[in-house]
């Protein structure tokens, strides 16, 4: 029996050819943003499928989200279709972790504002330096201690940092201290770095609110490569403006452009974070945007899922639609 899959996100010809080379016999993949005619696909590879795409094929049993996370619109639609299973991809764990670590280092050393000043041939940052933070011996609290969080934890541990991982349930993951989200508040006063890698769910939305930010040290750094709404926007902005925390770095945002025309002029937040020299801004690039290696890894991950399904084996990375991850 042939397994039919339909992939909707744009992919260059070399990546499509590469995917075909990884697929086993008996797997047939079609491509395009339009619903194929006839619609016979068993698996739909789409991050935000429309209701029409979800109902067009009577054979559909699985949606593969071609990135990490479960978009709210997709979750809402699929909650009404419990017969459809959901899986996502973890192919970009490494690049997301690398971005988070890059932001941590840049924030700790005030690298970006120093760079901007020195570009004017101004040596004052050398002789009248901005404050900087030493990371060795400090504590990094990682909210969301999954594949990305654990990659970050390994690097921080190698820097002789104390790592506290925050998970939904207790687990033993040596050599780290593991706490639950219910214990987060007690850990925050000890955090020199708060690293946010968690998915956005009902439980994590706004979990870093005003009280949590106020409990941080004035020397603390907040890095977010999870989802912006995990952190209260106003509380973060006020803390940065008033220097109640040292710095922050975000790759995820509160506002996104709706179309290409809005790309050049869409503020990412409702507060002017771009005016702050203790805030690092990145336009959601941590997942590997612009990195060809990541697209090959994405195709490898898709092939792994499709080949497993064709063989009748469990597909990796299932998503619990009710929990949101």
pLDDT digits (tens, 9 = 90+) for 34-63: 999 999 999 999 999 999 999 999 999 999
% of the chain beyond a pLDDT of 70: 100
Question: What pLDDT, on a 0 to 100 scale, did the predictor assign at position 180?
Answer: 96
Region 190-205 average pLDDT: 96
Question: What pLDDT, on a 0 to 100 scale, did the predictor assign at position 292?
Answer: 85
- Average pLDDT of the chain, as a whole number: 96
Grouping H, G, I as helix, E, B as strand and the rest as coil, residue 154 is: helix
227 pLDDT higher than 90: yes
- The structure's pTM equals 0.94
Pull the structure tokens for residue 265: 């002029």
CA gap 162, 150 in Å, rounded: 13
Main-chain phi, psi angles of 191, to 5 degrees? -80, 120
Question: What pLDDT, on a 0 to 100 scale, did the predictor assign at position 19?
Answer: 97
Does an H or E element contain 161, and which? none
Which domains does the chain possess?
Answer: 3-92+291-310 (3.40.50.720), 93-281 (3.40.50.720)
Reported as a single tens digit per residue, the pLDDT across 265-311 is: 999 999 999 999 999 999 999 999 888 899 999 999 999 999 999 99
Q: Which residue has the tokens 């619990």?
A: 320
237 pLDDT higher than 90: yes
Pull the structure tokens for residue 32: 């395009």
Residues 6+ apart with CB under 8 A from 276: 240, 241
Identify the sign of the CA torsion 46, 42, 294, 315: positive
Question: What pLDDT, on a 0 to 100 scale, did the predictor assign at position 61?
Answer: 98
Neighbours of 57 (CB within 10 A): 19
Identify the sign of the CA torsion 225, 230, 232, 235: negative
Region 75-85 average pLDDT: 94
Question: What pLDDT, on a 0 to 100 scale, did the predictor assign at position 191?
Answer: 98
Do strands 279-281 and 62-65 pair parallel, antiparallel, or not at all (unpaired)?
unpaired
Region 126-139 average pLDDT: 96
Question: What pLDDT, on a 0 to 100 scale, did the predictor assign at position 258?
Answer: 95
Pull the structure tokens for residue 264: 């050049």
């Amino acid at each position: 029996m042939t397994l039919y899959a339909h992939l909707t996100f744009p992919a260059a010809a070399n990546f499509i050819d590469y995917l075909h080379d990884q697929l086993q016999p008996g797997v047939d993949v079609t491509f395009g943003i339009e619903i194929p005619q006839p619609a016979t696909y068993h698996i739909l590879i789409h991050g935000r499928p429309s209701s029409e795409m979800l109902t067009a094929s009577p054979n559909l049993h699985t949606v593969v989200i071609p990135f990490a996370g479960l978009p709210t619109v997709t979750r809402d639609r699929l909650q009404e279709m419990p017969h459809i299973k959901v899986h996502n991809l973890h192919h970009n764990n490494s690049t997301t972790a690398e971005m988070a670590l890059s932001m941590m280092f840049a924030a700790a050393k005030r690298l970006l504002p120093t760079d901007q000043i020195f570009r004017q041939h101004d040596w004052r940052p050398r002789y009248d330096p901005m404050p900087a933070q030493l990371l060795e011996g400090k504590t990094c609290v990682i909210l969301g201690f999954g594949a990305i969080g654990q990659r970050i934890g390994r690097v921080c541990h190698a820097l002789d940092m104390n790592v506290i991982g925050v998970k939904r349930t207790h687990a033993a993951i040596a050599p780290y201290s593991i706490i639950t989200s219910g214990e987060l508040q007690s850990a925050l006063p000890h955090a020199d770095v708060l690293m946010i890698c968690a998915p956005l769910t009902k439980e994590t939305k706004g979990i870093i609110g005003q009280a949590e930010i106020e409990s941080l040290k004035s020397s603390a750094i907040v890095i977010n490569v999870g989802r912006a709404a995990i952190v209260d926007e106003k509380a973060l902005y006020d803390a940065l403006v008033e220097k109640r925390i040292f710095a922050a770095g975000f790759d995820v945002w509160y506002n996104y452009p709706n179309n290409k025309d809005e790309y050049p002029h869409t503020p990412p937040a409702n507060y002017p974070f771009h005016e702050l020299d203790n805030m690092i801004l990145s336009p959601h690039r941590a997942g590997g945007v612009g990195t060809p290696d990541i697209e090959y890894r994405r195709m490898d991950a898709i092939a792994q899922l499709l080949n497993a399904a064709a063989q009748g084996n469990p597909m990796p990375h299932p998503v619990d639609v009710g929990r949101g991850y």
